[in-house]
Structure 1
Amino acid sequence: MIGSETAGTVQRPASDMPPVLMYHSVQEYTTDPYRVTVRPERFLRQLRWLRLRGWTGVGVGQLLRAYRQGRARGLIGLTFDDGYADFDTTVVGALREHGFTATVFVLARRIDGHNAWDGDGPRKPLMSAEQIHRAAELGMEIGSHGLLHRPLSTLSRVEMAEEVHRSRSELTELLRQPVEGFCYPYGDLDRNTLREVHEAGYAYACAVRPGSLACGLAIPRIHVGDRDNGLRLEAKRWRARLRPSR
């Protein structure tokens, strides 16, 4: 396992763990104050860049299983937060064209809703239950992003447990298969939230930036935005100490 959580001990991910990239939405846009949107043409260029350098994008669950078996060379984790409808309409087709898969983290109580938490940003539709099912049928991994996209560390213990446990059970019921992964809204976590995710039975969880709690339930990721061309991706690759796949 990449990291384990025992009483009072948090082990960091192994240094040779393949990187995990963090996306949100892929669509055309005019304003994006939170810098979470990538234009489709840029996204295609980024996928081509990964492919030309020998990387194959996979979901995090698959990445971790391959890592434990010593078969992760050349793999890179791809994640998409929030479950935007463009994951179905734009992203999945582009991924499949390159032979890639990914994990999409959805909000169990905002299915077929919109990004109401982005007060200053443009309104974007989120996936419907039908779209989530279709993504899973096409080989994408579905993970939990909680219920409503709330910062977990600010909630009461009861509210936090509801976000973490209930979201997993509702998505498991929707998909009729276990949900392995969790993603912390806003990358917000502390020891209490990490413990709650562990008790809910998730196999792994994704954070954002590396931190003192980095472990198998707080896997750091590399943010990818619309400005990330080949040079910027190469710089991020270097900073994350990615190993060449060939």
Structure 2
Amino acid sequence: MYHSVGDCSDDPYRITVTPGRLDAQLGWLRRRGLRGVPVAELLAARARGAGRDLVGLTFDDGYADFVEHALPCLRRWGCGATLFVLPGRLGGDNAWDPLGPRKPLLNADGIRRAAAEGIEIGSHGLTHTDLTTADAATLAAETAGSRARLAELTGAPVTGFCYPYGTVDARAADAVRAAGYGYACAIDPGPLTGPYALPRVHVGQRDTPVRLLLKTRLHRLRRRAAAGV
């Protein structure tokens, strides 16, 4: 789970990695015989009993720096990714973050450019609203409404959703399923499991090869415990 790729000198939420750090992390994956891919591709491979050499890469929020900094790194290492964007904030900024700098978000042309490069475009909701506290009308707009707007913008079906703030409960997951998505990503969904509560590992600027290895091992152990295995 990535967010912004750029200057991380003022980064109170630790959501930014520099292009150099991203490049090093992707290189680490490739040297281990792994390749970053969109989540939809990973899930399709796993459904066929394959994909042990694949890692789903996600970038939340749709920051404008994705096109400038992340895409060249992904191309260099032959990787793909899923970009979760906010169609209700096209060309806006991360107004939901009270601390830190204002980071510009991709506009419609930027999202289309990423899609043209083979990046899977998914929804991060309409405006980055916590779905677990949303009323029925807001929940519908953030799930079904955002999916319809993204499909119109890209001209392609939208199968992936990412819960804002990573927060999910059964009601939010049911709304995402009802809206027609094929899967949804959280961070640590607790007791929820399955395609509409996919867990992810946060990757940040401080994640060197040693830390990445530890994170992957701890992540597996934590999810096995959550599933009662």
Compute the TM-score of the two structures, normalised by the length of structure 1. 0.88
Q: Which amino acid aligns with 1:48?
A: G
Aligned counterpart, 1:205: 184
CA distance in structure 2 between the partners assigned to 1:90 and 1:234 by the alignment = 24
Q: Please tell me whether residue 234 in structure 1 is matched to residue 213 in structure 2.
A: yes
Match for residue 78 of structure 1 among 47, 52, 57: 57
CA distance in structure 1 between the partners assigned to 2:162 and 2:220 by the alignment = 23
Q: Please tell me whether residue 42 in structure 1 is matched to residue 17 in structure 2.
A: no
- Offset of 1:211 from its aligned partner? 1.3
Q: Which amino acid aligns with 1:68?
A: A
Aligned counterpart, 1:11: none
- Offset of 1:133 from its aligned partner? 0.6
Contact 2:168 2:189 in 1 (8 A): no
Match for residue 30 of structure 2 among 28, 31, 51: 51
Aligned counterpart, 1:25: 4
Aligned counterpart, 1:223: 202
Taking only aligned residues, the RMSD between alpha carbons, in angstroms, comes to: 1.1
Q: Please tell me whether residue 98 in structure 1 is matched to residue 77 in structure 2.
A: yes
SS in structure 2 opposite 1:223? coil
CA distance in structure 2 between the partners assigned to 1:196 and 1:116 by the alignment = 25
Q: Please tell me whether residue 182 in structure 1 is matched to residue 161 in structure 2.
A: yes
Contact 2:39 2:56 in 1 (8 A): yes
TM-superposition CA deviations, 1:103-153 (whole Å, max 9, x none):
000001111111110111211111111111111111100000001101011
Identical counterparts, % of pairs: 53
Contact 2:36 2:57 in 1 (8 A): yes
- Offset of 1:214 from its aligned partner? 2.0
- Offset of 1:29 from its aligned partner? 2.7
> Which structure has more RCO (C-alpha within 8 Å, separation ≥ 6)?
1
- Offset of 1:33 from its aligned partner? 0.7
Contact 2:87 2:149 in 1 (8 A): yes
- Offset of 1:210 from its aligned partner? 4.2
Q: Which amino acid aligns with 2:217?
A: W
Q: Please tell me whether residue 87 in structure 1 is matched to residue 66 in structure 2.
A: yes
Q: Which amino acid aligns with 2:197?
A: A
- Offset of 1:71 from its aligned partner? 2.0
SS in structure 2 opposite 1:240? helix
Q: How many residues align?
A: 221
SS in structure 1 opposite 2:57? strand
Contact 2:176 2:196 in 1 (8 A): yes
Structure 1 unpaired stretches of 5+:
1-21
Higher strand residue share: 1
CA distance in structure 2 between the partners assigned to 1:183 and 1:172 by the alignment = 16
The runs of 4+ residues in structure 1 deviating greater than 4 Å are none
Q: Relative to 1, partners in 2 of residues 1:232 and 1:149: Cα closer, same or farther, differing over 3 Å?
A: same
Structure 2 unpaired stretches of 5+:
222-229
CA distance in structure 2 between the partners assigned to 1:225 and 1:213 by the alignment = 25
Aligned counterpart, 1:68: 47
Higher helix residue share: 2
